[in-house]
Amino acid sequence: MKLNAEQQEALTHLDGPVRIIAGAGTGKTFTLIHRVDALVKSGKVREGKILLLTFTNKAANELSERLVKMGHKGIKAMTFHSLAARLLKKYWCEDFEILDEKSREEIIKNLMDKFELVRSKKLIKRPENNPLLYKKYTDVLKERNALDFSLLMPSLLEFWEENPTILEKCQRLFDYVLVDEYQDVNDVQIGILKKLTELHSNICVVGDSDQTIYSWRGADASTLCDFAAEFNCVRTIILNKNYRNPPHILSAANCLIENNSNRFEKALKATVSNSEKINYWSLSDEYEQEEAISFCLENYFGAISSMHDAHDLDHKSKGRGFMDLAILYRSQLEGRIIAELLAKKGYPYQISNNEYFWNKKEVRGFMAELSVLRNYKFVRDQKFSSWLGERIDDFVKAGKFSGTQISRLNQLVIYAIAYDSLSLKEALLQFIVEYEIVEDQDNLIFDNKINLLTLHAAKGLEFPIVMIIGLEEGALPSKKSINDEYMLEEERRLMFVGMTRATEELHLFSRSKFRSEKKDQSRFISEIPLDFIEYKSLPSQRMDRLKRKSAKRAQIKMF
Amino acid sequence: MPFIADLHIHSKYSRACSKNLDLPHIDAWCQIKGIDLVATADFTYPAWFKELNEQLEEVDIGVYKLKDEFRSIAQVFIPESCKRDVRFILSTEISLIYKKGDKCRKIHLVILAPNLEVVAKINRELDKRGNIRSDGRPILGMDSKILLELLLSISPDIQVIPAHVWTPHFSIFGSKSGFDSVEECFEELSDHICALETGLSSDPPMNWQLSRNDKYVLVSSSDAHSLVKLGREATVFDTDKNYPSILKALRHEHEKVLGTIEFFPEEGKYHADGLRNENLCLDPEQTKKYNMKSPKTGKAITVGVLHRVSDLADRKLGARPKAAKDYWSIIPLTEVLSEIVGVGPSSKTVQRKYFELIEALGSEFYILKDAPIEDIEKVDEVLAEAIGKMRKGEVFVKPGYDGEFGVIKVFGGDENFSKNQLKMF
């Protein structure tokens, strides 16, 4: 692969602050890696003095791997957390302890008991809300010579503040610093970067303000815009040749995101030739949606079970692999509906989560309570997944959880659907066992299964076929964002991220009625010009089948 | 003592399968049919695996029997003449759908496992990789070779047998989504494959046309989705009834596999070419003449097994390789009776007649394959004549195509039927 003109430009100015705005599918990682390569080849710097910062271990590993393939074994790619931990170990204290979530909680709980504070889950999570408790907590940490995960980066900044000579040492460690996904940094991280590059200003950041979807973690869509002022950066390179998405899909995504004001203005240009339009399924209700999705699946995969259907279906089918398809959704409820459908039909599917899903405190906490219920006496006959849903509701009621945590807990129900064919007792046991053996199974995108992901989890990935479901007001955009311009823009970015995951085909689904409630089509659909949309509907045969089914449902209701 | 084995059936937990396919009923019907050893089927399905654990007990290494206390569940009358000890072997079918070499592959494989502990391990591993809770025959997105590799890492005594190898859909040599050879599918692990299941639409002479398949022992199974279809095809072994001996026979001692009991291949649903919706049934030559497309609608014609075999064959039909085994072509007894009586095979008359016969003579396989013609004559002269003709292969056929069963008649049919070639030896 050759670098295009803009990517080439990104390699020419090696010194001083540089900002690379890399839109979706423009070869961000490719350019980043070539910039590192160019740095080494320029002879300005040895490999060990280049620092590459990322947000996840996964990204760090991927970058390292690709650099090794290019022959650069000595370049350090790591996360912000791991940078902080390493520097603190080296200059502050060699053997300080990094507390895991469990030990951290233990300390806080003990303190609460000692000072006769009421044990509240909220306070355990945020001891800083009680100054006394927090003081005592940090005292214990000092005594134990320990830091918790969230304290790593602030402690580094503080430590530098107090020890200018050490700061200077740290500043001399790296001559060039590169930051991936800069749109996701928060203030503390910006602080670290400023200090770290103070002497040489050799900082290069790469990112895309249109893909900021982590506001709740302190990221802000304007971060990339503000970089210029914060770091005195005059050099901005815009990568706008998109190598991923078909032109119609890309133009549609461009038009959509132009409705955001808080962004770095740019328009992506397609290079892929493919005349595929966006397939838009405007459906009357969830039953029609089920039929439409089944219809799409048959078209892509042909017959999966019955030899009898095989001939008709396989003729039309495109013979896709399961892994070619990703179904994306905003809320766990939608994920649940899709998982149910796929489980019923026998399709292999996997639910991909953000990193560390199973390690999340609330997930671990709930699973721990669940395993105590091993011998639960089931009194009512119901599906395992709905039983589990009730347990989660109880669990949530008994404690205090953030919206994100509750939604993460509810995701367990989607996993549980796969167990619905078992007896309740059996399902519970297997579910617990399964949990005990999940190792790093999340994000196993390379298994040949249909991928179910939240829009958040889809960031950074691409799939030949993408379906986004639940495009209704109140779902995407979500209810709480509708009256909040700032959040609405984030929802729009989510939609943008979702659409730009598709390398070949994109299907959008909306329902005008869901669970008997009237729904309005998402404003995001209206923001896409009609030229890019192909309206889809079920063939009449399938509609007839649907009518028969609904007549049957009505009959059952009557009696 | 030779015994008859049906290594590939399904339970009530597989899609489109009869609800009474549970262990007690399978046990009872195997006696009626004359099957000595039968697949447990569907062992990856959690609820069924549980039933296997509860209802079976091991009687010899890797071979199980139904516990006595479960017998009465099946309220099926089993005549004294048919009673036998039915043995179960752990065997299941898996559907693999994946891409290889840019083509979508859909392959069904039969998996034999040495014991319930190994099955538990298999289930645990497959559970991580696919959805085994929706269907007794689970669909996985795995490559055949990767699955085989995984299974062998669990136990070297697991045996994989490609299922109904010639059907156009879901088979290793299928025209639609299969391969041209075992090696293309399993690559460096191909040596593990030792047996091929011929499927209903092909018989041994058709398979003998491929010299590269000479090294495989041919087996036949019913792939039954209901009780009455148990044993419609089967394999005859002459070995001890335990897992190691059966495995050895399949792998190395092919002489211990005596042969197979077969459908007339024309009766199979995918024997000839054609299109079901257009009532279009063609032989391979005609299909080629039409350029593989329907002369009426231009739709692609479903290529049947006869066609597919001849495409890959390097020998003429009629050639018999040295290691070839015997086979017995049969027509299900109810179908023979149906032709004689002139009413449908599932009619009350035929059913009554069927039970009278097995009570008087013995199991269905005994009547079709072994009973001396004179003995049958004593009970029913017309039937004796029919069975005599069937055993000699003197039948009239109307081949199946594109999912439509073929029809075999002993006493001749209308102009749509043609006379079968006589058995060639």
**Residue-range domain boundaries for chain B:** 3-266
> pLDDT class for A559, splitting at 50, 70, 90?
low
The CA-based diameter of chain A, rounded to the nearest angstrom, is 82
Q: Quote the tokens at residue B377.
A: 């004559």
In this complex, do A437 and B128 lie within 8 Å of one another by their Cβ atoms?
A: yes
- Read off the pLDDT of each residue in B123-142 and give the average, rounded to a whole number: 87
What is the least distance, in Å, from the CA of A313 to any CA of chain B? 11
pLDDT tens digits, A212-259? 887 766 777 788 888 989 999 889 999 999 999 999 999 999 999 999
pLDDT tens digits, A147-189? 988 889 999 999 999 999 999 999 999 999 999 999 989 899 9
Q: In this structure, how many other beta carbons lie within 10 angstroms of the beta carbon of residue A481?
A: 18
pLDDT exceeds cutoff 80 at A101: no
Rounded to whole angstroms, how far apart are CA atoms B201 and B400?
8
CA dihedral A82, A88, A93, A97 (to 10 degrees): -40
Residues of chain A with pLDDT > 90, as a percent, come to 44
Q: Could you tell me which chain A residue has the CA closest to the CA of B127?
A: A434
pLDDT exceeds cutoff 70 at B83: yes
What is the least distance, in Å, from the CA of A281 to any CA of chain B? 27
pLDDT exceeds cutoff 70 at A264: yes
pLDDT tens digits, A394-410? 888 888 888 778 878 88
- Read off the pLDDT of each residue in A548-552 and give the average, rounded to a whole number: 87
**What pLDDT sits at residue A492?**
96
A342 vs B contacts (CB less than 8 Å): 131
Q: Is B103 on the interface with A (CB under 8 A)?
A: yes
ipTM: 0.78
Buried b (16+ CB within 10 A) or exposed e, B297-334: eebebbbbbbbbbeeebeeeeeeebeebbebbbbbbbb
pLDDT exceeds cutoff 90 at A73: no
**Helix residue ranges, H only, A373-504:** 384-398, 403-417, 424-437, 455-458, 485-499
Give the CA distances from residue A395 to residues A362, A367, A398, A410, in Å, rounded to whole numbers and listed in that order. Answer: 10, 10, 5, 11
In this complex, do B134 and A344 lie within 8 Å of one another by their Cβ atoms?
A: yes
| Higher local confidence (pLDDT), B198 or A367 | B198
In this complex, do A314 and B177 lie within 8 Å of one another by their Cβ atoms?
A: yes
In this complex, do B130 and A449 lie within 8 Å of one another by their Cβ atoms?
A: yes
pLDDT exceeds cutoff 80 at B113: yes
- Read off the pLDDT of each residue in B43-61 and give the average, rounded to a whole number: 95
Q: Which DSSP category does A237 fall into?
A: E
**What pLDDT sits at residue B367?**
97
pLDDT exceeds cutoff 70 at A439: no
Q: Could you tell me which chain B residue has the CA closest to the CA of A309?
A: B403
B97 vs A contacts (CB less than 8 Å): 301, 304, 322
pLDDT tens digits, B302-343? 899 999 999 999 999 889 999 899 999 999 999 999 999 999
**What pLDDT sits at residue A374?**
78
Indicate the average pLDDT of chain B.
Answer: 93
Q: In this structure, how many other beta carbons lie within 10 angstroms of the beta carbon of residue B219?
A: 26
What is the least distance, in Å, from the CA of A144 to any CA of chain B? 41
For residue B308, the surrounding DSSP H or E stretch is helix B305-312
pLDDT tens digits, A450-489? 999 989 888 888 999 999 999 999 999 999 899 988 899 9
Angle value at C-alpha A370, between A367 and A374, nearest 5 degrees: 135
In this complex, do A305 and B15 lie within 8 Å of one another by their Cβ atoms?
A: yes
Q: In this structure, how many other beta carbons lie within 10 angstroms of the beta carbon of residue B175?
A: 20
Block residue for tokens 């500043």:
A171
Q: Could you tell me which chain B residue has the CA closest to the CA of A431?
A: B127
pLDDT tens digits, A311-342? 677 766 777 889 999 999 998 788 888 988 99
- Read off the pLDDT of each residue in A351-379 and give the average, rounded to a whole number: 78
Q: Is B302 on the interface with A (CB under 8 A)?
A: yes
A273, burial (CB in 10 Å: exposed 0-12, middle 13-18, buried 19+)? exposed
B168 vs A contacts (CB less than 8 Å): 310-311
Q: Which residues of A touch B (CB under 8 A)?
A: 301-308, 310-312, 314-315, 317, 319-323, 342-349, 418-423, 426, 430, 434, 437, 441, 447-449
Name which of A306, A313, A314, A445 to mutate to probe chain B: the one with the most chain B Cβ atoms within 10 A of its Cβ: A314
Topology, domain B3-266? TIM Barrel (3.20.20)
For residue A549, the surrounding DSSP H or E stretch is helix A540-558
Block residue for tokens 């009776």:
B337
In this complex, do A441 and B128 lie within 8 Å of one another by their Cβ atoms?
A: yes
Q: Quote the tokens at residue B339.
A: 């032709």
Q: In this structure, how many other beta carbons lie within 10 angstroms of the beta carbon of residue B53?
A: 11
Rounded to whole angstroms, how far apart are CA atoms B175 and B167?
8
Strands B87-100 and B63-66: antiparallel
Name which of A297, A301, A306, A307 to mutate to probe chain B: the one with the most chain B Cβ atoms within 10 A of its Cβ: A307
Q: Quote the tokens at residue A281.
A: 């399924």
Residue pair A354/A456 in contact by the 8 Å Cβ criterion = yes
pLDDT exceeds cutoff 50 at B422: no
Residue pair A174/A51 in contact by the 8 Å Cβ criterion = yes
Rounded to the nearest 5°, which phi and psi values hold at B392? -85, -5
| Contacts within 8 Å (CB) and 24+ apart, B383-392 | B383/B336, B383/B337, B383/B340, B383/B357, B386/B336, B386/B339, B386/B340, B386/B410, B386/B411, B387/B336, B390/B329, B390/B330, B390/B331, B390/B336, B391/B328, B392/B422, B392/B423
Partner residue opposite A311 with nearest CB, options B134, B137, B403: B403
Q: Could you tell me which chain B residue has the CA closest to the CA of A415?
A: B131
> pLDDT class for A367, splitting at 50, 70, 90?
confident
> pLDDT class for B133, splitting at 50, 70, 90?
confident
In this complex, do B177 and A305 lie within 8 Å of one another by their Cβ atoms?
A: no
Distance of CA A57 to the CA centre of its chain: 14
- Read off the pLDDT of each residue in B394-401 and give the average, rounded to a whole number: 93
- Read off the pLDDT of each residue in A59-76 and give the average, rounded to a whole number: 87
Indicate the average pLDDT of chain A.
Answer: 87
pLDDT exceeds cutoff 80 at B420: no
What is the least distance, in Å, from the CA of A316 to any CA of chain B? 11
Block residue for tokens 């030990």:
A103
pLDDT tens digits, B276-290? 889 999 999 999 999
- Read off the pLDDT of each residue in A524-547 and give the average, rounded to a whole number: 94
Buried b (16+ CB within 10 A) or exposed e, B99-137: bbeeebbbbbbbbbbbbbebbebbbeebbbbbbbbbbbb
In this complex, do A311 and B99 lie within 8 Å of one another by their Cβ atoms?
A: no
B128 vs A contacts (CB less than 8 Å): 437, 441
Buried b (16+ CB within 10 A) or exposed e, A59-79: bbebbbebbeeeebeebbbbb
pLDDT exceeds cutoff 70 at A446: no
**What pLDDT sits at residue A474?**
94
pLDDT exceeds cutoff 90 at B142: yes
Distance from first CA to last CA of chain B, Å, rounded?
A: 25
Give the CA distances from residue B131 to residues A514, B95, B173, B229, in Å, rounded to whole numbers and listed in that order. Answer: 28, 11, 25, 27
**What pLDDT sits at residue A434?**
67
**What pLDDT sits at residue A119?**
78
| Higher local confidence (pLDDT), B127 or B120 | B120
What SS3 state is found at A297?
helix
What is the secondary structure of B242-272 as a DSSP string?
SHHHHHHHHHT-GGGEEEEEEE-GGGSTTSB
Report whether the peptide linkage leading into residue B2 is cis, meaning its omega lies within 30 degrees of zero. Answer: no
Q: Which of residues 127-156 of B touch A (CB under 8 A)?
A: 127-131, 133-135, 137-143
Residue pair A473/A523 in contact by the 8 Å Cβ criterion = yes
Closest CA to A409 of A351, A355, A361, A363: A363
Q: Could you tell me which chain B residue has the CA closest to the CA of A423?
A: B47
Rounded to the nearest 5°, which phi and psi values hold at B6? -120, 105
Residue pair A245/A25 in contact by the 8 Å Cβ criterion = yes
Least confident of A374-383, B167-176, B193-202: A374-383
Name which of B45, B133, B273 to mutate to probe chain A: the one with the most chain A Cβ atoms within 10 A of its Cβ: B133
What is the least distance, in Å, from the CA of B120 to any CA of chain A? 12
Residues in chain A: 559
pLDDT tens digits, B234-271? 999 999 999 999 999 999 999 999 999 999 999 999 99
**What pLDDT sits at residue B379?**
94
In this complex, do A321 and B402 lie within 8 Å of one another by their Cβ atoms?
A: no
pLDDT tens digits, B176-231? 889 999 999 999 999 999 999 999 999 999 999 999 999 999 999 999 999 999 99
**What pLDDT sits at residue B425?**
37
What is the least distance, in Å, from the CA of A294 to any CA of chain B? 16
Q: Could you tell me which chain B residue has the CA closest to the CA of A315?
A: B300
Beta bridge partner(s), residue B107: B96
Query: What count of CB pairs under 8 Å joins A to B?
Result: 108
What SS3 state is found at A258?
coil
Beta bridge partner(s), residue A378: none
A432 vs B contacts (CB less than 8 Å): none
**What pLDDT sits at residue A383?**
86
**What pLDDT sits at residue A213?**
85
Q: Is B225 on the interface with A (CB under 8 A)?
A: no
